[in-house]
Structure 1
Amino acid sequence: MRVLLLLTACSGITALQAQVYKSSGPLVHTFSIVARDSATGEMAVGVQSHWFSVGTSVAWGESGTGVVATQSFIDKSYGPKGLALMKSGLTAQQALDSLLKADEAREVRQVAFIDNKGNVAAHTGKNCIQYASDIKGANFSVQSNMMLGKTVCESMAAAFKASHTKPLAERVLAALDAAQTAGGDIRGMQSAALIVVNGTAADAWNDKLIDVRVDDNPQPLKELRRLYNLYVAYQHMNNGDLATEKNDMEKAMNEYNAAMKMFPENLEMQYWTAITLANNKRLEEALPMLKKIFAADKNWKELTKRLPAVKLLTVTGDALKQILAQ
C-alpha cells in the first residue's frame, strides 16, 4: 500500500482517484503489441514485463471479435468488457472510449484495442510512469510504460513493419525482441506471453490458435520463442497424423521430419514417427529409431506393448516381437 500511495502522490493523482487503485491489483508496467494480419484476419497480442505471469493480466482476445492489451496500473476488466463491446458492433475506438469515459483512473491506464476489421485504438494516460508512449499503425498498435529508454515503441513498430512477409506470430515476437533490444522495462525481464486468435468466430474450445506463456524466467522472450517453435513443431506432427489417416505417407513423413528437424532430441516426436513407419510396413526404418528411443527411456517400450490393444500399432505378431526386442 505504501508503494501505491507514493506512486499516486508523485504522479499528481488526487486522493479521490487514488481510492480506485487496490493494493491487491497488479501494477503491470510493460511493453506490448496488438496486431492483425490483413491477409488471414488473425489477431494477436504479445507482451513482456518484469512482473509475474503477465499474460494472465494483459493479453485478451476472442476469435472473430478482436484483441486487447491492458497494462500500467492495470484494470483487467478492460479485456472482457472491451471484447464484449466490440462483439456487440462497436469499433475498437468506440469500445475503448466507452470504457475510458467511465474510468476515474484513466490517466494511469495504458490500453490498446484492435477489432476484427482492423480498426486500432490506443490510450496512454498522462500519469503512466515514464518513459511511456504508444504508436498506432495499419493493423497494429505498440505501447509501453516504465521503459528504460525513449525508443521502445519506435523499435517495436519498425520491427513489426519490417517483418511483413512472416506469419503474424513471428512478427509479434520480432517486435518484442526489438523492444528489449531498445532497453525494455527499466526493471528487467520476468514473464512474457503470446496469443493469436482467428479473424472469424470459432467454438469456445478452439478460440485461441496460439496461447503460450512464460510466467517466470530470467530470459522470458527467449523461452517464449522456444515455446512458439515447439507449437509449430507439434503442428507439423498433427499434420503428419492427418496425412497418415488419408494414407498420404509422403506428406506424413515430410511433416514428421520437419518436426524432428526443429527438435531433434524430442523423444515423443521420434516415437510416433517410428510407430507410423511400422504401421505402414516400413519396419526396417522404424526399428533403429525405436532402439534408440527405448535405450533413452524404457517406458516407451512399455507403452508400445499397450498400443496393439487399442489399434494404434497394427503390425503382425512377428513384427511386434522384433520391435520389443530392440
Structure 2
Amino acid sequence: MTFSIVGRSDDGKAVGVAVASKFLGVGAAVPAALADVGAVATQSYANLAYRPQALALLGTGVSASAALAGLIAADDGPVSHRQAGIVGMTGPGATFTGADCHDWAGGAAGDGYAAQGNMLAGPSVIAGMEQTWLGSSGALPYRLLAALRAGDQAGGDRRGRQSAALLVVSPGRGYGGTSDVWVDLRVDDHVDPVAELGRLLTMHSLYFESPEPSSLIALTGPVAEEVRALLAAAGFGGEELEEELASWAGVENLEMRVVKGSIDPLVLTHLRAAG
C-alpha cells in the first residue's frame, strides 16, 4: 500500500525517509528518524512501535539488519503482513517484506539505503528507486525525493496517489541551527502528492536554507544602490541599509539568507519581484 526509501548522506551526517502512498497522511505513520542514530520506515499493516524501537536499537550501536531482526522477533502481531526499512549511521541498510504483503511487494538494500513497497504496480517501482538513488549525489533531501519520484513514475502504489512525506535529520541543520530536523514536509491528501512534495521542498530550501558562500554578492556600489531603492519602495527606507534589508527579509521569512556585507542572489531576486 506504500513505497518508501530510507537513506544516509554520503558524508554520513544525515539520514532520512521519503514515502508515498494511496493512504491519508502517510507521513504521520511511516517515517521516523533521529540525528546521529538512523531512520526507519514502517508500512503495510504498519506497527508504529517499530519507529521508537528501531531508533532505540540503533542507538545501542547495533547494525540496521540486527535492529530489523529484533523488531520482527519481538512483534506479536501479523509479521507476515509487515514491511519495514532501516538505515543506520554506518553500513548497509536493511529491508523486510512479509510473505503475505499484498502484491507486488518487495525491497532492495545496500550501503546507506533501503527501498521497499507493497501493493505496487510491479518490481520496476523498487528498481527505479534503487537505480535513481545509486545514480544520484548531493543534498540528501533531494536524493530521497528523486528516488521517490522515480518510484512514482514507475507506477508507484497500484491503487493510485494520495499522500507523500519527507523527513531528514542532521545535527544542527534545523531552523536557526537549534534543531536537528533538517526537512519535515508532508502532503496529506493531494492528486499528485510527490510533485507537490517537490514544490514544498523547493520552498523549504528558499526559506530555511543558508546561502552558498560562493554565490553571495557584495552589498556595495550599484548593487547596494539598487537594493536601497527597492527597499525604500517596499517601505524600508531607513539610513542603515543592512538593518533595513534584515528587517525586510524577516517580514518575508528570508532571515536565514541574510549575510552581513552581502546579499544572496535569491534574496535579490525576491526583492526585485516584490518591487
The TM-score range, normalised by the shorter chain, is 0.7 to 0.9
Matched with 1:67 is 39
Matched with 1:159 is 132
Matched with 1:33 is 5
Query: Structure with the greater relative contact order (CA < 8 A, sep ≥ 6): 1 or 2?
Result: 2
Aligned pairs (5 A) from 1:127-276:
127-164=100-137, 166-198=138-170, 206-236=179-209, 239=211, 250=217
When residues 123 and 288 of structure 1 are mapped into structure 2, their CA distance, relative to the original with a 3 A threshold, is same
Q: Distance in 1 between matches of 2:109 and 2:100?
A: 20
Q: Distance in 2 between matches of 1:157 and 1:70?
A: 18
The alignment-based identity, stated in percent, is 33
Matched with 2:88 is 115
| 3-state SS of paired residue (2:168) | strand
| 3-state SS of paired residue (2:91) | coil
Which blocks of at least 5 consecutive residues in structure 1 are unaligned?
A: 1-28, 244-248, 258-276, 292-302, 308-325
Matched with 2:231 is 286
Question: What is the count of residue pairs matched by the alignment?
Answer: 234
Q: Distance in 1 between matches of 2:46 and 2:91?
A: 24
TM-score (norm: length of structure 1)? 0.65
Shift of 1:71: 0.3
Shift of 1:224: 0.3
Q: Is the 8 A contact 1:64 1:201 kept in 2?
A: no
When residues 201 and 224 of structure 1 are mapped into structure 2, their CA distance, relative to the original with a 3 A threshold, is closer
Matched with 2:65 is 93
| 3-state SS of paired residue (2:152) | helix
Shift of 1:187: 0.9
Shift of 1:289: 4.6
Shift of 1:283: 3.1
Q: Distance in 2 between matches of 1:50 and 1:173?
A: 17
Q: Distance in 2 between matches of 1:59 and 1:219?
A: 20
Superposition RMSD in Å: 3.1
Shift of 1:162: 1.5
Shift of 1:205: 6.2
When residues 283 and 119 of structure 1 are mapped into structure 2, their CA distance, relative to the original with a 3 A threshold, is same
When residues 200 and 122 of structure 1 are mapped into structure 2, their CA distance, relative to the original with a 3 A threshold, is farther
Q: Distance in 1 between matches of 2:37 and 2:157?
A: 30
Q: Deviations over 1:26-79 (max 9, x none)?
A: xxx200000111225211100000101101100000001000000011101101
Shift of 1:252: 7.4
* Runs of 4+ deviating beyond 4 Å: 199-202
- Matched to 2:183, the amino acid is I
Q: Distance in 2 between matches of 1:40 and 1:78?
A: 23
Q: Is the 8 A contact 2:30 2:48 kept in 1?
A: yes
Q: Distance in 2 between matches of 1:290 and 1:134?
A: 55
